[in-house]
Amino acid sequence: MVNITPGKAYGFFTDTSVCIGCKACEVACKEWNLLQGNPPVFGDGYDNTGSLDAQNWRHVKFIDNVPDETTVAGQGKAWLMMSDVCKHCQQASCMEACPTGAIIRTEFDTVFIQPNVCNGCRDCIAACPYDVIGIDENRGVVQKCTLCYDRLQGGLEPACAKACPTESIMFGSVEELRATARRRVSDLHDQGITQARLYGEDDKVYGGLNAFFLLMDEPEKYKLPNAENAVLPRRNNLGGYLGVLGTAILAVVGGLVALRRRRQPAVATPKGPEPTADAASAGPPAPAPEPRTETETGDER
């Protein structure tokens, strides 16, 4: 039993090498958080959940890693299984993108969305590099894993970790979990399982993840960004932001020039000479004489 103390950082260490794909974590998460879930849809594998979203805060991935043609059973390869969840990043891009301050960091160093502050703008959905956030169409707010914030406040471990039968999902203080993870990967390497590696336990990926993993292959196989690609949107798009800044400066300069022109006095239009008093009193000009006929001029014959 973990002694949960406010002010310390807590999270998950998920050891994918012992995940059996039972989905007990998914069920426990939905039951505790009253998530309705989505209708199950099977594709070409065993995954009936699809992805993380507003109704699935835990998602067990099934990745066929076995070659189609083998000389021996699997050539030492096995299916990759991974219970995916919100990473509760130290550099949380969803928190940076939120315009209302609805996304906060709790006293347990977890990333939490306040539903009564969220306006449903979906900026965080676009910003999240792990696609863990979804919109609840009924409530009009976004949702994701809270790391069972209400259970932590009551001194209880998250429901998914409690339900995991193989302890693939471990809950505890981040500092202690990191030490456990490093011992575990060292043991696997000693057993000749050299492909085992840790993901997110250090600050190379978004400043460190409070929910990190032991993987049995490269991060890309699990559809996770590697350390080279794990950069915040604002850092990754520096050129685009400079372009926007330049356009804004030009717009401001153009506005100031237009304003200055509006404030300048108008140039007077030249006028003709003013009429004299005699011309004004003379009345309207006399009509032009009508043309005379031949009879009137005396030329009649």
In sequence order, what DSSP letters do the residues of 173-202 get, joined into one string?
A: EHHHHHHHHHHHHHHHHHTT-TT-EEESSS
State the average pLDDT over residues 47-63: 93
- C-alpha–C-alpha distance, residues 128 and 165, integer Å: 30
Q: What is the pLDDT of residue 172?
A: 98
Q: What is the band of 46 on the pLDDT scale with cuts at 50, 70, 90?
A: confident
The pair of three-digit structure tokens given for residue 165, joined into one six-digit string: 């039968």
Burial 217-252 (b: 16+ CB within 10 A, else e): eebeebebeeeeebbbeeeeeeeeeeeeeeeeeeee
- C-alpha–C-alpha distance, residues 78 and 59, integer Å: 19
- C-alpha–C-alpha distance, residues 97 and 122, integer Å: 9
More confident of the two residues 115 and 38: 115
- C-alpha–C-alpha distance, residues 264 and 278, integer Å: 39
More confident of the two residues 124 and 265: 124
On whether the pTM is more than 0.85, the answer is: no
State the average pLDDT over residues 132-155: 97
Decide if 152 contacts 10 (C-beta within 8 A).
yes
Q: What is the band of 167 on the pLDDT scale with cuts at 50, 70, 90?
A: very high
Q: What is the pLDDT of residue 266?
A: 56
Residue type present at position 165: P
What count of Cα atoms within 13 Å lies in the side-chain half-sphere of residue 14? 28
Q: What is the band of 94 on the pLDDT scale with cuts at 50, 70, 90?
A: very high
The pair of three-digit structure tokens given for residue 3, joined into one six-digit string: 């002694």
Q: Which residues, including other chains, have CB under 8 Å from residue 61's CB and lie 6 or more apart?
A: 47, 80, 81, 82, 83, 84, 222, 223
Distances (CA, A) of 174 to 2, 109, 266, 286: 12, 10, 71, 107
pLDDT in tens, 187-244: 999 999 999 999 999 999 999 999 999 999 999 999 999 888 877 765 444 444 454 4
Q: What is the pLDDT of residue 295?
A: 46
For the chain, the first-to-last Cα distance in angstroms comes to: 141
